[in-house]
Amino acid sequence: MASTDQDISLSASETLAHARRVDAQRKTRARWILLSPALILIGLFGLMPLSITLVYSFLKPGSFGGVEWVFSLDAYIQFIAQRDIFDDTLSVNWSYLSIFSRSIGLSLGATIGALILGFPTAYFIASKPADQRNFWLFLITLPFWTNLLIRTYAMLLIIRDQGVINTGLMSLGITEAPIEILYTDTAVFIGLIYSYLPFMVLPLYASLEKLDLRLIEAAYDLYASRFRVLTNVILPLAKPGIVAGCILVFIPGLGAYITPELLGGGKKLMIGNLIAIQFGSSRNWPFGSAAALILMAVVMVALLLYVRHSAKEGHSHG
Protein backbone atom coordinates (compact mmCIF):
# COMPACT_ATOMS: atom_id res chain seq x y z
CA MET A 1 0.00 0.00 0.00
CA ALA A 2 2.73 2.37 1.02
CA SER A 3 4.56 2.01 -2.29
CA THR A 4 1.39 2.68 -4.28
CA ASP A 5 0.79 5.84 -2.31
CA GLN A 6 4.29 6.96 -3.12
CA ASP A 7 3.79 6.24 -6.82
CA ILE A 8 0.65 8.24 -6.89
CA SER A 9 2.23 11.18 -5.09
CA LEU A 10 5.28 11.02 -7.37
CA SER A 11 3.21 11.09 -10.53
CA ALA A 12 1.12 13.88 -9.01
CA SER A 13 4.20 15.98 -8.42
CA GLU A 14 5.37 15.23 -11.97
CA THR A 15 2.05 16.35 -13.35
CA LEU A 16 2.29 19.52 -11.30
CA ALA A 17 5.81 20.23 -12.56
CA HIS A 18 4.66 19.64 -16.13
CA ALA A 19 1.70 21.96 -15.66
CA ARG A 20 4.00 24.64 -14.29
CA ARG A 21 6.33 24.28 -17.28
CA VAL A 22 3.50 24.59 -19.76
CA ASP A 23 2.17 27.58 -17.88
CA ALA A 24 5.59 29.27 -17.89
CA GLN A 25 5.94 28.68 -21.65
CA ARG A 26 2.51 30.12 -22.27
CA LYS A 27 3.37 33.18 -20.22
CA THR A 28 6.61 33.75 -22.13
CA ARG A 29 4.78 33.45 -25.45
CA ALA A 30 2.08 35.84 -24.35
CA ARG A 31 4.71 38.34 -23.26
CA TRP A 32 6.40 38.34 -26.66
CA ILE A 33 3.10 38.63 -28.52
CA LEU A 34 2.11 41.62 -26.40
CA LEU A 35 5.53 43.24 -26.83
CA SER A 36 5.76 42.69 -30.60
CA PRO A 37 3.90 45.82 -31.80
CA ALA A 38 6.20 48.04 -29.78
CA LEU A 39 9.28 46.08 -30.85
CA ILE A 40 8.31 46.30 -34.52
CA LEU A 41 7.75 50.06 -34.22
CA ILE A 42 11.04 50.64 -32.43
CA GLY A 43 12.90 48.45 -34.93
CA LEU A 44 11.34 49.96 -38.01
CA PHE A 45 11.32 53.63 -37.04
CA GLY A 46 14.02 53.76 -34.40
CA LEU A 47 16.82 51.35 -35.08
CA MET A 48 16.61 51.30 -38.89
CA PRO A 49 16.96 55.08 -39.45
CA LEU A 50 19.77 55.08 -36.93
CA SER A 51 21.55 52.28 -38.79
CA ILE A 52 21.11 54.11 -42.10
CA THR A 53 22.55 57.25 -40.50
CA LEU A 54 25.48 55.26 -39.18
CA VAL A 55 26.19 53.67 -42.57
CA TYR A 56 25.82 56.96 -44.49
CA SER A 57 28.26 58.72 -42.17
CA PHE A 58 31.02 56.43 -43.48
CA LEU A 59 30.29 57.08 -47.19
CA LYS A 60 31.16 59.82 -49.68
CA PRO A 61 28.55 62.48 -50.55
CA GLY A 62 26.81 62.24 -53.92
CA SER A 63 27.00 65.29 -56.15
CA PHE A 64 23.25 65.94 -56.05
CA GLY A 65 22.51 64.75 -52.52
CA GLY A 66 22.37 61.15 -51.46
CA VAL A 67 25.54 59.11 -51.10
CA GLU A 68 28.17 57.38 -53.17
CA TRP A 69 28.80 53.85 -51.90
CA VAL A 70 32.50 54.36 -51.24
CA PHE A 71 33.87 53.98 -47.72
CA SER A 72 35.31 57.20 -46.33
CA LEU A 73 36.10 58.81 -42.99
CA ASP A 74 35.96 62.29 -44.56
CA ALA A 75 32.70 63.19 -42.82
CA TYR A 76 34.27 62.75 -39.36
CA ILE A 77 37.56 64.34 -40.36
CA GLN A 78 35.71 67.30 -41.84
CA PHE A 79 34.06 67.92 -38.49
CA ILE A 80 37.32 68.72 -36.73
CA ALA A 81 39.75 69.53 -39.48
CA GLN A 82 39.99 71.11 -42.91
CA ARG A 83 42.03 69.87 -45.87
CA ASP A 84 44.15 72.44 -47.63
CA ILE A 85 43.03 72.54 -51.26
CA PHE A 86 46.59 72.93 -52.54
CA ASP A 87 48.76 70.55 -50.55
CA ASP A 88 46.10 68.33 -48.89
CA THR A 89 47.49 68.93 -45.35
CA LEU A 90 45.02 68.90 -42.46
CA SER A 91 44.56 71.73 -39.98
CA VAL A 92 42.06 72.16 -37.18
CA ASN A 93 38.77 73.58 -38.34
CA TRP A 94 37.16 75.53 -35.53
CA SER A 95 33.95 76.50 -37.30
CA TYR A 96 32.03 73.27 -36.61
CA LEU A 97 33.55 72.81 -33.17
CA SER A 98 32.44 76.31 -32.26
CA ILE A 99 28.91 75.59 -33.46
CA PHE A 100 29.03 72.51 -31.30
CA SER A 101 30.27 74.31 -28.20
CA ARG A 102 27.81 77.19 -28.79
CA SER A 103 24.99 74.66 -28.92
CA ILE A 104 26.13 73.10 -25.66
CA GLY A 105 26.53 76.52 -24.05
CA LEU A 106 23.13 77.79 -25.16
CA SER A 107 21.38 74.59 -24.20
CA LEU A 108 23.09 74.48 -20.83
CA GLY A 109 22.18 78.12 -20.22
CA ALA A 110 18.59 77.45 -21.18
CA THR A 111 18.51 74.44 -18.85
CA ILE A 112 19.72 76.52 -15.92
CA GLY A 113 17.31 79.31 -16.83
CA ALA A 114 14.42 76.87 -17.05
CA LEU A 115 15.41 75.37 -13.68
CA ILE A 116 15.48 78.78 -12.01
CA LEU A 117 12.10 79.72 -13.48
CA GLY A 118 10.59 76.25 -13.24
CA PHE A 119 11.40 75.39 -9.63
CA PRO A 120 9.30 78.11 -7.97
CA THR A 121 6.52 77.37 -10.44
CA ALA A 122 6.54 73.66 -9.65
CA TYR A 123 6.75 74.36 -5.92
CA PHE A 124 3.83 76.76 -6.19
CA ILE A 125 1.69 74.13 -7.91
CA ALA A 126 2.75 71.34 -5.53
CA SER A 127 1.85 73.47 -2.52
CA LYS A 128 -1.70 74.14 -3.80
CA PRO A 129 -4.54 72.02 -2.39
CA ALA A 130 -4.78 68.72 -4.27
CA ASP A 131 -8.02 69.62 -6.04
CA GLN A 132 -6.54 72.82 -7.52
CA ARG A 133 -3.27 71.35 -8.79
CA ASN A 134 -4.75 69.88 -11.96
CA PHE A 135 -5.92 73.32 -13.02
CA TRP A 136 -2.43 74.78 -12.67
CA LEU A 137 -0.89 71.80 -14.48
CA PHE A 138 -3.42 72.33 -17.23
CA LEU A 139 -2.17 75.91 -17.58
CA ILE A 140 1.41 74.63 -17.85
CA THR A 141 0.45 72.33 -20.71
CA LEU A 142 -1.62 75.01 -22.47
CA PRO A 143 1.22 76.10 -24.85
CA PHE A 144 1.27 72.59 -26.34
CA TRP A 145 -2.13 73.30 -27.85
CA THR A 146 -0.38 75.41 -30.46
CA ASN A 147 2.38 74.23 -32.76
CA LEU A 148 5.91 75.17 -31.69
CA LEU A 149 6.51 76.84 -35.07
CA ILE A 150 3.54 79.18 -34.58
CA ARG A 151 4.59 79.96 -31.03
CA THR A 152 8.12 80.75 -32.16
CA TYR A 153 6.80 83.11 -34.84
CA ALA A 154 4.71 84.80 -32.15
CA MET A 155 7.86 85.13 -30.07
CA LEU A 156 9.57 86.69 -33.07
CA LEU A 157 6.84 89.31 -33.28
CA ILE A 158 7.24 90.13 -29.61
CA ILE A 159 11.01 90.56 -29.49
CA ARG A 160 11.74 92.11 -32.90
CA ASP A 161 12.77 95.76 -33.20
CA GLN A 162 9.21 96.90 -33.92
CA GLY A 163 7.82 94.30 -31.49
CA VAL A 164 5.76 94.72 -28.35
CA ILE A 165 8.75 94.92 -26.03
CA ASN A 166 10.72 97.50 -27.98
CA THR A 167 7.76 99.74 -28.90
CA GLY A 168 6.65 99.53 -25.29
CA LEU A 169 10.07 100.50 -23.95
CA MET A 170 10.40 103.34 -26.45
CA SER A 171 6.93 104.77 -25.89
CA LEU A 172 7.67 104.80 -22.17
CA GLY A 173 10.88 106.66 -22.98
CA ILE A 174 13.08 104.06 -21.31
CA THR A 175 15.13 103.57 -24.46
CA GLU A 176 15.51 105.76 -27.54
CA ALA A 177 16.45 103.10 -30.05
CA PRO A 178 15.10 99.54 -30.05
CA ILE A 179 17.17 96.99 -28.10
CA GLU A 180 18.43 94.45 -30.56
CA ILE A 181 17.23 91.06 -29.35
CA LEU A 182 16.09 89.24 -32.45
CA TYR A 183 18.75 87.27 -34.37
CA THR A 184 21.09 87.23 -31.39
CA ASP A 185 22.12 84.48 -29.00
CA THR A 186 19.86 86.15 -26.42
CA ALA A 187 16.86 85.56 -28.66
CA VAL A 188 17.77 81.90 -29.08
CA PHE A 189 18.35 81.60 -25.34
CA ILE A 190 14.95 83.13 -24.51
CA GLY A 191 13.30 81.00 -27.17
CA LEU A 192 14.82 77.79 -25.85
CA ILE A 193 13.73 78.53 -22.29
CA TYR A 194 10.24 79.35 -23.49
CA SER A 195 9.97 76.20 -25.62
CA TYR A 196 11.20 73.73 -23.04
CA LEU A 197 10.07 75.22 -19.72
CA PRO A 198 7.08 72.84 -19.36
CA PHE A 199 9.46 69.88 -19.65
CA MET A 200 11.27 71.26 -16.62
CA VAL A 201 8.17 72.09 -14.60
CA LEU A 202 6.41 68.75 -14.96
CA PRO A 203 9.11 66.41 -13.56
CA LEU A 204 9.94 68.98 -10.87
CA TYR A 205 6.29 69.05 -9.89
CA ALA A 206 6.18 65.25 -9.83
CA SER A 207 9.00 65.07 -7.28
CA LEU A 208 7.92 68.09 -5.23
CA GLU A 209 4.36 66.82 -5.00
CA LYS A 210 5.64 63.66 -3.30
CA LEU A 211 7.71 65.70 -0.87
CA ASP A 212 6.53 65.07 2.68
CA LEU A 213 5.68 68.50 4.11
CA ARG A 214 6.35 67.16 7.59
CA LEU A 215 10.04 66.90 6.63
CA ILE A 216 10.03 70.63 6.00
CA GLU A 217 8.39 71.18 9.37
CA ALA A 218 10.92 68.88 11.00
CA ALA A 219 13.83 70.84 9.51
CA TYR A 220 12.21 74.12 10.48
CA ASP A 221 11.73 72.75 13.99
CA LEU A 222 15.42 71.79 14.13
CA TYR A 223 16.58 75.39 13.78
CA ALA A 224 16.91 75.50 9.98
CA SER A 225 16.05 78.87 8.46
CA ARG A 226 13.85 78.98 5.37
CA PHE A 227 16.91 79.13 3.11
CA ARG A 228 18.57 76.17 4.80
CA VAL A 229 15.34 74.17 4.65
CA LEU A 230 15.53 74.71 0.90
CA THR A 231 19.19 73.79 0.52
CA ASN A 232 19.32 70.98 3.11
CA VAL A 233 15.98 69.27 2.62
CA ILE A 234 13.89 70.38 -0.34
CA LEU A 235 16.59 70.48 -3.04
CA PRO A 236 18.21 67.13 -2.14
CA LEU A 237 14.82 65.44 -2.06
CA ALA A 238 13.75 67.05 -5.35
CA LYS A 239 16.98 65.88 -7.01
CA PRO A 240 15.38 63.15 -9.16
CA GLY A 241 12.96 65.74 -10.56
CA ILE A 242 15.73 68.28 -11.10
CA VAL A 243 17.84 65.72 -12.98
CA ALA A 244 14.90 64.53 -15.10
CA GLY A 245 13.91 68.12 -15.90
CA CYS A 246 17.47 69.08 -16.85
CA ILE A 247 17.80 66.06 -19.14
CA LEU A 248 14.44 66.78 -20.73
CA VAL A 249 15.45 70.40 -21.45
CA PHE A 250 19.13 70.00 -22.23
CA ILE A 251 18.91 67.19 -24.79
CA PRO A 252 16.14 68.57 -27.02
CA GLY A 253 17.67 72.03 -26.53
CA LEU A 254 20.97 70.77 -27.89
CA GLY A 255 19.35 69.55 -31.09
CA ALA A 256 16.87 72.42 -31.39
CA TYR A 257 16.13 73.47 -34.95
CA ILE A 258 13.13 75.79 -35.18
CA THR A 259 14.17 78.16 -32.39
CA PRO A 260 17.69 79.00 -33.66
CA GLU A 261 16.43 78.97 -37.24
CA LEU A 262 13.76 81.61 -36.64
CA LEU A 263 15.03 83.59 -33.65
CA GLY A 264 18.72 83.23 -34.53
CA GLY A 265 17.90 84.19 -38.11
CA GLY A 266 19.89 81.25 -39.47
CA LYS A 267 23.04 83.25 -38.84
CA LYS A 268 23.64 81.90 -35.38
CA LEU A 269 23.77 78.20 -36.12
CA MET A 270 23.18 75.40 -33.66
CA ILE A 271 23.91 71.75 -34.41
CA GLY A 272 20.33 71.15 -35.47
CA ASN A 273 20.62 73.80 -38.19
CA LEU A 274 24.03 72.55 -39.25
CA ILE A 275 22.64 69.06 -39.76
CA ALA A 276 19.60 70.38 -41.63
CA ILE A 277 21.82 72.37 -43.98
CA GLN A 278 23.89 69.28 -44.82
CA PHE A 279 20.80 67.43 -45.94
CA GLY A 280 19.52 70.48 -47.79
CA SER A 281 21.54 73.12 -49.54
CA SER A 282 25.00 71.65 -48.81
CA ARG A 283 24.03 68.20 -50.14
CA ASN A 284 26.49 66.50 -47.85
CA TRP A 285 24.49 63.66 -46.34
CA PRO A 286 27.50 61.81 -44.86
CA PHE A 287 28.62 64.94 -43.00
CA GLY A 288 25.07 65.55 -41.74
CA SER A 289 24.91 61.94 -40.56
CA ALA A 290 28.28 62.21 -38.85
CA ALA A 291 27.28 65.44 -37.07
CA ALA A 292 24.05 63.81 -35.87
CA LEU A 293 25.93 60.79 -34.54
CA ILE A 294 28.58 62.90 -32.81
CA LEU A 295 25.79 64.83 -31.09
CA MET A 296 24.19 61.58 -30.02
CA ALA A 297 27.49 60.20 -28.75
CA VAL A 298 28.13 63.30 -26.64
CA VAL A 299 24.68 63.11 -25.08
CA MET A 300 25.05 59.39 -24.41
CA VAL A 301 28.44 59.78 -22.77
CA ALA A 302 27.12 62.57 -20.57
CA LEU A 303 24.13 60.46 -19.52
CA LEU A 304 26.26 57.38 -18.88
CA LEU A 305 28.61 59.41 -16.71
CA TYR A 306 25.64 60.67 -14.74
CA VAL A 307 24.13 57.19 -14.33
CA ARG A 308 27.48 55.80 -13.16
CA HIS A 309 27.85 58.68 -10.71
CA SER A 310 24.36 58.35 -9.25
CA ALA A 311 24.65 54.56 -9.07
CA LYS A 312 27.83 54.98 -7.05
CA GLU A 313 26.11 57.51 -4.82
CA GLY A 314 23.13 55.19 -4.36
CA HIS A 315 25.51 52.36 -3.53
CA SER A 316 27.30 54.32 -0.85
CA HIS A 317 23.91 54.95 0.71
CA GLY A 318 23.17 51.22 0.67
Partner 1 sequence: MPVTQNMNQLKPTVLAKNDADEVPAISVQGLVKTFGHSSNQITALDDVSIDIQQNEFFTLLGPSGCGKTTLLRLIAGFELPDSGTVLLHGEGIEHLPPHMRPVNTVFQSYALFPHISVADNIGFGLRMLGWDKAKITNAVEKMLDMVRLSDLANRQPDQLSGGQQQRVALARALAPAPRVLLLDEPLAALDLKLRKEMQIELKRLQDQTGITFVFVTHDQEEALTMSDRIAVMSAGRVLQVGQPKEIYNAPEHRFVADFIGDINVLPGQVKHRQNGKLVVMIAGGSEVHLPDDGIQSDSLFVAVRPEKATLAKSGTGALSGVVNNIVFFGSGTNIHVSLSDGVDFVVQTQGSETGLSLGDAVSVNFADSAAKVLRN
What's the Cα-to-Cα distance from 11 to each of 4, 5, 16, 18, 25, rounded to whole Å? 11, 10, 9, 10, 21
Looking at 115, 122, 219, 271, which residue binds partner 1 (CB under 8 A)? 219
**Helix H or strand E encompassing 92:** strand 90-92
Task: From 165-173, 218-226, 244-252, 289-297, give the range in contact with partner 1 by CB under 8 A.
Answer: 218-226
Among 104, 125, 201, 233, binds partner 1 (CB under 8 A): 233
49 scored as a contact of partner 1 (CB under 8 A): no
Residue 203 to residue 245: CA distance in whole angstroms: 6
54/288 Cα distance (integer angstroms):
11
Residue span 236-275 as binding mask against partner 1, x where in contact by CB under 8 A, dash where not: xx--------------------------------------
The size of the interface with partner 1 (CB under 8 A), counted in residues, is 19
Q: How far is the CB of 318 from partner 1 (least distance, A)?
A: 8
Q: Out of 36, 95, 101, 225, point to the residue binding partner 1 (CB under 8 A).
A: 225
Cα distance between residue 88 and residue 226, in whole Å: 64
Cα angle 23, 28, 34; round to 5: 120
Q: How far apart are CA 216 and CA 127, in angstroms?
A: 12
> To the nearest whole angstrom, how small is the minimum distance from the Cβ of residue 214 to partner 1?
4
Q: Are 243 and 307 in contact (CB under 8 A)?
A: no
Name the segment binding partner 1 (CB under 8 A); options: 1-9, 126-134, 192-200, 220-228.
220-228
* Shortest distance, position 212 Cβ to partner 1, whole Å: 7
Residues 108-137 that bind partner 1 (CB under 8 A): none
Backbone phi, then psi, for 168, in 5-degree steps? -60, -50
- 128 φ, ψ (degrees, to nearest 5): -75, 155
CA distance 161 to 180: 6
**Contact flag: residue 180 with partner 1 (CB under 8 A):** no
- What's the closest the beta carbon of residue 233 comes to partner 1, in angstroms? 6
Query: Is the alpha carbon torsion for 41, 43, 47, 52 positive or negative?
Result: negative
What part of residues 197-216 is at the interface with partner 1 (CB under 8 A)? Answer: 212, 214-215
Pick one of 21, 31, 228, 309: the residue that binds partner 1 (CB under 8 A).
228
Q: Which is nearer to partner 1, 214 or 267 (CB)?
A: 214
**Binding residues for partner 1 (CB under 8 A):** 212, 214-215, 217-225, 228, 232-233, 236-237, 317-318
